[in-house]
Structure 1
Amino acid sequence: MIPSAIKNKQLLSFIYDGYSRTVEPHTYGVDTKGHPALRAYQVGGGSDSGEFTGWKIFHVTEMRNLASTPTHFSGPRQGYKRGDKAFAVIHAQL
């Protein structure tokens, strides 16, 4: 689901750390610590940090109720870096 959302530029929604999140997915793979992960730009929802929008990395195993939405985004956000160095393996990226 995550790779197709990246390819189709579809927003994803899920629960993470008890907060509903809506994100623009940009990079999916395995981070340098071995976790399946998603680099995304959060556009809605909550956060423990109090930062409700911005760049974040989410561990896929901690996402709950993951779903793609019918809403699309136009393309990479400012600050996006293809070949993200936080990932040891990249399965999908914009």
Structure 2
Amino acid sequence: MEFVDTSILCNLLEVPGKSQHRKQVIDELKSKRERRDTDLLLPVTAIIETGNHLAQVSDGRARRSCAERLSGVLTNGTRPISRPSWTAAAREAA
């Protein structure tokens, strides 16, 4: 099991000034997904820290675009990160 840290999430979401290694990160995650050799865990702290980085983006359009991508990852399981298990469990409990 590997953690998806804030820097990885920022690269995936193309957060301005925080996504310098986007291609490398995506290639590495695709490779891991294809090999199915590890599970990825998205910690709540990475989500909170990424939200903080998004809040600091001065361009409102870029900020909203990144926030919508983050929302898609968290609510719809938009690839390359699949839906966290706690989200599915919360929906079932409701």
Is the shorter-chain TM-score for this pair beyond 0.5, marking a shared fold? no
Which structure is higher in strand share? 1
- Given the two structures, how large is their TM-score scaled by the length of structure 1? 0.30
Larger Rg: 2
Which structure is higher in helix share? 2
- Given the two structures, how large is their TM-score scaled by the length of structure 2? 0.30
Higher normalized contact order (CA 8 Å, seq sep 6+, divided by chain length): 1
